[in-house]
Structure 1
Amino acid sequence: MRKSFGVIASILLCFCLISGTIGLPSAQARSSVSAIDWNAELQHVDGFGGSGAFHKAGSIMRLPEPVRTKILDMIFSQEKGIGITIVRNMVGDGGTWGSKEYDGPTDTIEPEPGVFVWDDPEWETKKNNFDKYQIWFMNEAKKRGVTTFMSTVWSPPAWMKTNNSVLGKGNGKLKPEHYQDFADYLAEYVLGYKKHFDLDISYISIANEPGLAPNYSGCVWTPEEMNLFIRDYLGPTFKARNVPAKIVMPEDMSFSEEYALPALNDPVTVNYIDVVAAHAYGIGTDVPAFPVSAEKGKTIWQTEYMNQGAERQTYENNTITDALRYANLIGNMFDITGISAYFWWWPAANNGADGSDLIRLANDGSNQAIKPTENGLFRVFKRYYAFGNYSRFVRPGYVMIGAEKHPVDDVMITAYKDPNTGNFAIVAINNSTAKRKITFELNHFPDRVKEVVPYRTSPNENLKKLDYVKVSGNSFTVDLRGSSVTTFIPKAFELPALEDMKDVFSTYEAEENDGQSKGLVTHKDDAGKSHLANVRNGDYIKYGNVNFADGSANGTVEKRQILSMNAHVASLHGGTIEVRLDDPEDGKVVGTMTVPTLNDPGRWVTVSTMIDTNPEDGAYGFHDMYLVFKGKSKEQLFYVDAFTFGDGIESP
């Protein structure tokens, strides 16, 4: 048996998580207070976004039904998913990425000077294939209520650039003699997409990461060049031609306003800029302010981020640890930076590693650079649900309002309201592994709120809708579960529970199951941690609708279809734990954990097994999962605390 330090650390972290419950306070408990003031209005909210750029919308479009509709609903539907409200597109440049044989070029509206695609006499027969993935994606978003579309330029067409290529190589720049051509190009893009596709492009960003010269589509700009282009060309052109799209800049790779300062400090340019946007790559725990943008009254967006780099492609970076990281980052950006919108990179896509997506579309194992092939399976990471703790409830048109952010050091509170309806959302993050009792005071709220509805993401819950919490005297008190993100909204505006879809990135608390044998009882240890006791031969617990996807805990190539399972137990007479699929007696056994005889109920140990993930009858796709307990003794076999998955304890 070979265990890595990372796997052991992950297991220890999962098993040390202490569960709390939402409920009313006990007489002995003392709560900390977060006062939330309805009248303390801060910035407006534009929404939460994601992209289908680089043909990644095609990953979803190629899916068979009903999976395709399910994924689209999970992305865009507020009722059935996390309700993303902004789509970020790529302005096609005519260049290629990946394989010409499969994906072809990113379509440009002006393939050569002065020639637009819709001037072609055969345009009506050709337009259905023009930019087909992104246009399909936008239309599917529209069906689910999305009205905000942002389009970003990675590169102008090659003929406009110094290197005659859409790639960033050689520090390719826009030629000064083509500044007006490029301004007209962007105006035509917005007006043409409305005329020919009935799509309203709400925002145009002139450059993606302008300080970078990548080996894919890109264009290098200095801050001074961006200022000049917007001031003397793009701004006047949009004004003269009544282009309705708002101007976004600079979308620098680093989360800073530095690249925008020349434009913001120019008395002419500043009036053309609507949104100051930046990406968050390289950001740590310190979130910066954008003081000049705020002083100038500009809207601020974070428009791209993901888990980038080999060190971020691990199993641990798809669990609650990662979810809490992003929940804190989003809350801090709203509070400290004053953002109005937060974007993930690809909400769902077929990729070579897990870090790019909220939902990873599994593939058939072929060379995805040559021909991406989705197999209809998908992996949902914990960050999807934590992102949804904001995006599903904090909607366009909301306003952030003042709240006591840290009633205790390891808890963060932010709050948002709909000034038109009286709806609101309070997002509470508990970074401690122990529960925290918090009282929320609702000051100056317009109507007397009688009950709130909590929706919680925790180690073993995925945006789970919980029981109502009563509000008394304009306040309510709850125990925030350890390592959790909980969103509270008024009962009058409650949303339905999401489908109970489990995954291999969660902790499975033994006592919080979907069904169990008679006779099993819940006990608590001296620290108040719950576990199942009275386990005897033949007993079992059930977890329904577990998504094993392609049987991988870690999506990287070297870890493909490797899955292990761990149980945290205290042994009496010992025995085994069988992992069965779909039936406790006749279901396929895909793993067996041996619990040694220790006769020591106070000694907790971890036992493990590799899981059979073969596509025919193994842990592959969706299954009900049964943990069946076996042993020779008629007495109690062991206590069971929790189960976790991992990316391998031995060579498969």
Structure 2
Amino acid sequence: MKHVVFLSAISLLCTLLVSADTVTNPPHVVQFTIDPATTHQQIDNFSASDGWSMQFIGKWPQHKQEQMADWLFSTENNTKGQPKGIGLSLWRFNIGAGSSEQGDASQIGSVWTRSECFLSADGTYDWTKQAGQRHFMQLAKKRGVDQFLGFILSAPVHWTQNGLATNTGRGATFNLKAQHYHDFARFMADVVEGIERTEGIRFNYISPFNEPDGHWNWVGPKQEGTAATNAEIARTVRLTGQEFARRNIDTRILVTESFDYNCMYRTHPYVRADRGYQIQSFFTRDSSLTYIGDVPNVPRLMAAHSYWTNTPLTDLKKIRQEMGEVLRAHRVRFWQTEVCIMNNDTEIGGGGGFDRSMKTALYVARIMHHDLVYANASAWQWWRSVATGDYKDGLILATPDETLVDGQFTDSKLMWTIGNFSRFIRPGAMRIHVTGRNNDPESATNQEGLMVSAYRNTDNSIVVVVINYSTDEQKIRMNLHRPRITFQPYLTDDVKGNDLKPIRTVQSGSVTSIPPRSVITFVAAQ
């Protein structure tokens, strides 16, 4: 929802003109007006997860973990003014279901995609479990991260219908025995309290389900996960909210982490109807079986994953616009909580093969732009912080040795490009209005050229993110009506070392160049 806010006298005078948007030669100037007085959604955080990695990476030599943590969380600069990291502001912690303890009997072939469970079969808790994950979470806290989310892929194996953390051999319903719904709610409350007691960290959010509508969850993949219907989700959320309220736990309950935006506002062609129309089902009072809008600890906020909707380019925009309209109509805010590259992302060769270059980085930056501008995402979260295989699912690539608790690692342009957003757009920022030709906001997005979005932080600093998807250099003009303001640009492109690299400052009204295949963030203090 768009809001008009009153800013300082300086901010009210500020109209930022950014000119670009074409890939033709020679480049010509088209002005974009950035209006700090007209705001859209608040930005809550940018994030990634510890999924499938930190149980081992969190036991690597300390100096290696410290470097990875600096890359992911640091908001400090080096002596040249270049950021040391991308400043993620929320950390996603996978609360395991116990497939690791089952070993090969878990039917999950890789030790990386199994997880430990704090709850033992005898009903006691062991808070020494998930040691690597807990250790790395402390490194996030040490670097100033103060938002934490616990996400669950499966209920503890002791209570599932098939005795597994994966849906193997089952249908498309929740893999939880009926008599254990209350136990599952108590488990989540116990974990919130236990982690706070032992780690000094309170989960701000807990997510009981992850892609419950995903058809892959119906047949049982080789990873933890479960299907669930909207009614099963609602029952679980109600019981969890009641348990949290009874214990005075203020952790918020997040739903549903859908696998596909289509399930959020309509039915998916491959998904049963009893798990579609999720916005309407969970936040319309007439949906008595599934309404959760009056449940304690449940905000008017829904989460979904950006998979499968990023191509073709018409869908990249249209699906987000349509979902955004339904979210607005039901007064529900939105978080994008997981994405990586999948096989349908054919423009960059699909998910196979880890890519350190701007090829994947720009593709993801374009997704981020559309999620923020058209879906009005208040949070944007990547899947794995650290990849351990030859796949485009991590920001950092780790190559473990035979012990799994040591190895080599490297960064990627994808990580630094996400940092063009996450390092400078801080929690509490507001996305501000951008228009182009004929005062049209649509001309701020050229999917194969320049894409411009802008934000105002709580300290009134203005952040402008400019993506140049094209292979041509583009000219932009930034003009600020009195007083003149200096912008500090931070460049990420394929040149080695150009990772949020500070370059020559830009005065309002001057013309500057955006290199081909690059992302530049312009920051102006107020």
In 1: Cα distance, 2:27 partner to 2:341 partner:
39
Partner of residue 362, structure 1: 399
In 1: Cα distance, 2:156 partner to 2:411 partner:
36
In 2: Cα distance, 1:416 partner to 1:98 partner:
48
Deviation at 1:437, TM superposition (A): 1.7
Corresponding letter in the other structure for 1:339? A
Partner of residue 73, structure 1: 70
Match of 2:390 among 336, 353, 356: 353
Deviation at 1:149, TM superposition (A): 0.6
Deviation at 1:153, TM superposition (A): 1.1
Deviation at 1:305, TM superposition (A): 1.2
Partner of residue 368, structure 2: 330
Partner of residue 116, structure 2: 107
Partner of residue 147, structure 1: 146
Q: What percentage of residue pairs aligned between the two structures are identical?
A: 26
In 2: Cα distance, 1:407 partner to 1:105 partner:
44
Q: Secondary structure at the match of 2:165?
A: coil
Partner of residue 133, structure 1: 132
CA shift digits 1:366-414 (9 cap, x unpaired): 5xxxx52542x32322211211111111111111111125358421100
- Residue pairs, 1:429-448, within 5 angstroms: 429-442=467-480, 448=483
CA shift digits 1:104-155 (9 cap, x unpaired): 9733333247x2316xxxxxxxx4x322112111111000000111111111
Partner of residue 125, structure 2: 117
CA shift digits 1:56-99 (9 cap, x unpaired): 11443333353321111011102210111111111122222896
Kindly tell me: are residues 316 and 251 of structure 1, through their superposed partners in 2, closer, same or farther at Cα, counting changes over 3 Å? closer
CA shift digits 1:288-317 (9 cap, x unpaired): 232333333322111111123495356694
In 2: Cα distance, 1:98 partner to 1:71 partner:
30
Q: Given that residues 153 and 224 in structure 2 are in contact (C-alpha distance below 8 angstroms), is that contact kept between their aligned partners in structure 1?
A: yes
Corresponding letter in the other structure for 1:380? D
Partner of residue 203, structure 2: 201
Kindly tell me: are residues 279 and 177 of structure 1, through their superposed partners in 2, closer, same or farther at Cα, counting changes over 3 Å? same
Corresponding letter in the other structure for 2:93? N
Match of 1:188 among 187, 190, 209: 190
Q: Given that residues 160 and 176 in structure 2 are in contact (C-alpha distance below 8 angstroms), is that contact kept between their aligned partners in structure 1?
A: yes
CA shift digits 1:410-466 (9 cap, x unpaired): 211000111x311121000112211222223457xxx94521100111232322210
Deviation at 1:271, TM superposition (A): 3.5
Q: Given that residues 97 and 103 in structure 1 are in contact (C-alpha distance below 8 angstroms), is that contact kept between their aligned partners in structure 2?
A: no
Q: Given that residues 264 and 292 in structure 1 are in contact (C-alpha distance below 8 angstroms), is that contact kept between their aligned partners in structure 2?
A: no
In 2: Cα distance, 1:374 partner to 1:441 partner:
51
Deviation at 1:190, TM superposition (A): 1.2
Partner of residue 16, structure 2: none
Higher relative contact order (CA 8 A, sep 6+): 2
Corresponding letter in the other structure for 2:306? A
| 1:450 maps to 2:485 | yes
- Residue pairs, 1:284-433, within 5 angstroms: 284=311, 285=313, 286-287=316-317, 288-289=320-321, 290=323, 291-309=325-343, 311-313=349-351, 317-349=355-387, 351-364=388-401, 366=402, 371-372=403-404, 374-375=406-407, 377-404=408-435, 406-407=443-444, 409=446, 410-418=449-457, 420-433=458-471
How many residues matched? 440
In 2: Cα distance, 1:41 partner to 1:328 partner:
21
Q: Secondary structure at the match of 1:138?
A: helix
Rg: which structure is higher?
A: 1
Higher strand share: 1
CA shift digits 1:583-636 (9 cap, x unpaired): xxxxxxxxxxxxxxxxxxxxxxxxxxxxxxxxxxxxxxxxxxxxxxxxxxxxxx
CA shift digits 1:40-70 (9 cap, x unpaired): 111111111111123x114433333533211
Q: Secondary structure at the match of 2:369?
A: helix
Residue ranges of structure 1 left out of the alignment (5+ in a row): 1-21, 23-27, 119-126, 494-652
Q: Given that residues 87 and 423 in structure 2 are in contact (C-alpha distance below 8 angstroms), is that contact kept between their aligned partners in structure 1?
A: yes
Residue ranges of structure 2 left out of the alignment (5+ in a row): 1-19, 21-25, 77-83, 105-109, 266-275, 436-440
Kindly tell me: are residues 248 and 98 of structure 1, through their superposed partners in 2, closer, same or farther at Cα, counting changes over 3 Å? same
Q: Which moved more, 1:383-392 or 1:310-319?
A: 310-319
Calculate the TM-score normalised by the size of structure 2: 0.77
In 2: Cα distance, 1:215 partner to 1:99 partner:
13
In 1: Cα distance, 2:211 partner to 2:111 partner:
27
Kindly tell me: are residues 59 and 33 of structure 1, through their superposed partners in 2, closer, same or farther at Cα, counting changes over 3 Å? farther
Kindly tell me: are residues 104 and 278 of structure 1, through their superposed partners in 2, closer, same or farther at Cα, counting changes over 3 Å? closer
In 2: Cα distance, 1:428 partner to 1:250 partner:
31
Partner of residue 93, structure 2: 89
In 1: Cα distance, 2:124 partner to 2:445 partner:
59
Corresponding letter in the other structure for 2:487? V
Calculate the TM-score normalised by the size of structure 1: 0.63
In 1: Cα distance, 2:27 partner to 2:119 partner:
67
Higher helix share: 2
Partner of residue 59, structure 2: 62
In 1: Cα distance, 2:113 partner to 2:353 partner:
33
In 1: Cα distance, 2:328 partner to 2:135 partner:
36
In 2: Cα distance, 1:319 partner to 1:97 partner:
38
Q: Secondary structure at the match of 1:347?
A: strand
Q: Given that residues 153 and 225 in structure 2 are in contact (C-alpha distance below 8 angstroms), is that contact kept between their aligned partners in structure 1?
A: yes
| 1:277 maps to 2:274 | no
Match of 2:512 among 478, 483, 488: 478
